[in-house]
Amino acid sequence: MTDYRSTEERLIFNDRMQRVKEGIHPRLRCRNDREDSHIEQVSTHGLNPFVDEFEEHPDTPYVINLANAIVRSWLVTEKLIYPHEAIVGILRPSYPVMEHFHWGIIPRGEEHYARFGYPSEEKARADRMASRLEPLDWPYFTAAAKRRYGAAQYRAVKEEKIFHAGGYQGHTIPNYVTLLELGLDGVLAKIDFWAEKNARDQETADFYEANRIIVRGMSAYLEQYAAYAAELGEAETDPTQARYYREIADNCAYVAHRKPVTLYQAIQLMWCLSLWDWVDCLGRVDQYLYPFYRYSVEHGDVITSEEAITSLMFKIWEGGSHNSTLSGCRPEDGSDATNELTYLFLQILRSIHDTHPRMVVRIREDVQPELMALIVKLWSEGMSDPTVVSDVNVIPALQRLGVTLWDARDYATLGCQEIEIPGKSNTGCEDGSFNVAKVLELTLRGGLVTPDTGERVGPATTPFTDCETFEALYAAFEKQLAFYTEMHCWLCSRGQEIRAANHAKLVKGPFTDGVLERGIDHDAGGPIYGYGVIETAGVAAAADSLTAIKKLVYDEGRISRETLMAALDANFVGHERERQLLLNRAPKFGNDDPEADAMAVRVLNTYWNEIAKYRSVRGGVYTGACSLLTGGISYGEKTGALPDGRCAKEPLGNTMGPRPGADHSGVTAMLASVAKLPLHKGVGGTTLNVTLPTKTMATPEQRQNVAAMIRAFMTGGGQMAQVTTANLEDLLDAKAHPERHGDLIVRVGGYSMQFVQMNEKAQDEIISRYAGDSAAG
């Protein structure tokens, strides 16, 4: 039997699974890239089920039409079963109107139509029907914003890109436990029970009916697949493949109504919900599948447990899921939840060796050494998955937000590494994002004045040049921050209203605790937890800028306020000496420097305390997050020169770490700095990118060191880490742009060295070594 804990033995897929794997390659990227994807193969035969449904039923309540339209779209989509597959069901084609139920708001404009391959004749029809398809739309948002803040102010804030409000709002994990324990008919019975209990008005009755339509639709979808597989089985001449088809038919037919018993059945049923949920995030797969795994191991199953789990992983891989979560605590007593499936999922991930599926492992204080070893082994093989997240940090932090201990122990990550309670929450992940560094830039100039009309936007505060003390400047920063935070949270809440009115996540309703019990939609506050999540950008840049100002201007008097502002206005052109002073004579966050780190803590506290004053429409306060994957770049493009020595338009840095290139004291110092931050106030999820040289993971002893380092961070104040190994491209970029890669450490010989500190000759030598490694490996 394969030892799934082994870091030396690799999992080898059996013939059937290997052939499925080979079949997936040509149809990957199915969501966004129409070339070579199965979107070419499946179709709705030119039908637009959404528009059809609303056109045919002009007098039916919105929510009923919507439920029927969703079901119809799945049922009219051609069925497709690939050879050797065991689990069936694929994503349907993306059309803009369908995306309404993905994003909650219909994306408009030629760009979107083109992107989703919307048939031109359908375009006009959809536009005509727009007001029927979504009761509230983006113009509602814009009008509300202009009413409250004035047109000029709203426009200026948008143009300056101080924040983005209304974001995605809705990665959640459905309650797979409910689905698997009740089966679809059981869920229908649950709907009936609560519909009767909450029989308060027609609108509520319609809402429950819509939920029934969705669940019955899923049953019908599975029955369609059962019939189609049986049909294929009849026609198939190859006896093995014919058997596969019969097994699929039986499996789909069984779970179309009944609750699953075996692992194979459980996985087919959960995959059906995952598909209808647009392959969002799967939550704690190693936990809720475990009882079925035990059953199949003890009593036998149609396919092996390894095949069943592999089939699921392949489906996730093909569908491009965001995240699944492994290990952690049992909610009832906090004991270690790691099991055989934890290891099996990781081994399959290792054998797939791709950027998807994304997996996260929860790290306990007493994490099993074999688990840490396997995680580091995956990193050492060049994968950036799994991400690790700390139970020590997250569980108490969730409790502070009002989450019960039981539920806090059951958390999972999703989306871009946000944290939620599976099956019980909609935290709007994410409701919006905010650029703290931009607000500092505005503060230095006394606030924002529109460049064209000269109109004052937001409060007027004392400009930096008139601030006699550092605290006077910081007070102005707080005032500006308070204004834009209020505006941002208010606008985020308007985005939530649109999604609530549109029942943007209707499919998730029957599978999210609180929705049926309260009779309130998933996006309107039905789920048990409805706190809000604001992604936070530019913290390190803002903090480093304030540290430089405090130290070099106010404490040491090495540069005057006027000279500093002149240098910023000129984007440092003609002020290189000043820029170098700011860059190299003031400490930076990420080096375990008490002064610089204290400033980062202060800035983050200021901002995250501010957002906690506001509540989401769903109920619950806003909390911080920092897992923006590319936000640091796009916000950076709209942020001018800053007193940390950063030139205009340069990236602000991604995730919770230091500004790129600012940390030069070793990875332990960087981790120490991050661990000082009030990450417990960023329960939305605060990722940290950690880049380690490939060579630091070359031997088992070195991998143990990496495991120790990450474990120490995870249990000493850190919340999340994504570890990657440096590769040749990084080195080449570091040579061309040393200012971006102060953190890149390379193994030189008897010691390691900061790559950017080496002369060209030495850099070339290191590059040639990495090039050699790549060629060899």
Partner 1 sequence: MMEGIVFNIQRASTFDGPGIRTVVFLKGCPLRCLWCHNPEGLSPRPQIMYNAARCIGCGGCAAVCPRGRHALDGGVHRYAREDCTGCGACAGECFGGALALAGRRMTVEAVMAEVRRDGRYYRESGGGMTLSGGEPLAQAEFALALLRQARAEGIGTCVETSGFVPAEVIAAAAAVTGRFLFDYKATGDEMHRALCGVPQAPILDNLARLDALGAEVVLRCPIVPGCNDTDAHIAGIADTARRFGCVIEVQLMAYHRIGLGKAEQLGGAAAYEGQVPDAAAMAAYCAAITARAGKPAGIG
CB of 642 to partner 1, least distance (A): 17
Among 397, 395, 338, CA closest to 372: 338
- For the chain, the farthest-separated pair of C-alpha atoms sits apart, in whole angstroms, at 87
CB of 765 to partner 1, least distance (A): 6
Residue with smaller CB distance to partner 1, 335 or 757: 757
Asked if 85 contacts 311 with a C-beta cutoff of 8 angstroms, the reply is yes
Asked if 504 contacts 523 with a C-beta cutoff of 8 angstroms, the reply is yes
CB of 629 to partner 1, least distance (A): 26
Structure tokens at 307: 């095949």
Task: Give the Cα separation of 528 and 517 in Å (integer).
Answer: 10
Which DSSP state fits 754? E
Residue with smaller CB distance to partner 1, 548 or 628: 548
Asked if 528 contacts 618 with a C-beta cutoff of 8 angstroms, the reply is no
Residue with smaller CB distance to partner 1, 134 or 730: 730
CB of 600 to partner 1, least distance (A): 17
Residue with smaller CB distance to partner 1, 396 or 716: 716
Residue at 761: amino acid letter: K
Integer CA distances (angstroms), 590 to 552, 726, 761, in order: 19, 19, 28
Among 355, 325, 317, CA closest to 342: 325
CB of 618 to partner 1, least distance (A): 39
Task: Give the Cα separation of 36 and 27 in Å (integer).
Answer: 6
Q: Where are the alpha helices (DSSP H) in 466-622?
A: 470-501, 515-518, 539-548, 561-569, 576-584, 594-611
Residue with smaller CB distance to partner 1, 535 or 743: 743
Residue with smaller CB distance to partner 1, 60 or 704: 704
- 722, with CB counted inside 10 A (0-12, 13-18, 19+), is buried
CB of 766 to partner 1, least distance (A): 9
Which DSSP state fits 364? -
Sign of CA dihedral 470, 535, 522, 510: negative
Q: CB neighbours of 713 closer than 8 A, spacing ≥ 6?
A: 671, 674, 675, 721
CB of 636 to partner 1, least distance (A): 23
Residue with smaller CB distance to partner 1, 283 or 645: 645
Residue with smaller CB distance to partner 1, 335 or 580: 580
CB of 650 to partner 1, least distance (A): 17
Q: Is the peptide bond before 386 cis (omega within 30 degrees of 0)?
A: yes
Residue with smaller CB distance to partner 1, 344 or 581: 581
Structure tokens at 502: 């549109």
Strands (E), 44-88: none
Residue with smaller CB distance to partner 1, 115 or 747: 747
* N-to-C CA span, the chain: 29
CB of 748 to partner 1, least distance (A): 5
Asked if 745 contacts 753 with a C-beta cutoff of 8 angstroms, the reply is yes
Task: Give the Cα separation of 270 and 255 in Å (integer).
Answer: 10
Residue with smaller CB distance to partner 1, 205 or 712: 712
Q: Is the peptide bond before 357 cis (omega within 30 degrees of 0)?
A: yes
Tell me if residue 363 falls in helix, strand or coil: strand
CB of 767 to partner 1, least distance (A): 13
Phi-psi region of 18 (alpha: psi -120 to 50; beta: other; left: phi over 0): alpha
Task: Give the Cα separation of 324 and 113 in Å (integer).
Answer: 31
CB of 737 to partner 1, least distance (A): 14
Residue with smaller CB distance to partner 1, 3 or 764: 764
CB of 776 to partner 1, least distance (A): 8
Residue with smaller CB distance to partner 1, 601 or 748: 748
Residue with smaller CB distance to partner 1, 16 or 711: 711
Task: Give the Cα separation of 438 and 26 in Å (integer).
Answer: 43
Task: Give the Cα separation of 664 and 669 in Å (integer).
Answer: 9
Tell me if residue 532 falls in helix, strand or coil: strand
CB of 530 to partner 1, least distance (A): 37
Q: Which residues bind partner 1 (CB under 8 A)?
A: 576-577, 580-581, 583-585, 592, 665-669, 672, 696, 699, 701-702, 704-706, 708-709, 711-712, 716, 745, 747-753, 758-762, 765, 772
Residue with smaller CB distance to partner 1, 255 or 690: 690
CB of 337 to partner 1, least distance (A): 23
Integer CA distances (angstroms), 636 to 383, 434, 437, 631, 655, in order: 27, 12, 9, 8, 13
Asked if 514 contacts 526 with a C-beta cutoff of 8 angstroms, the reply is yes
CB of 662 to partner 1, least distance (A): 14
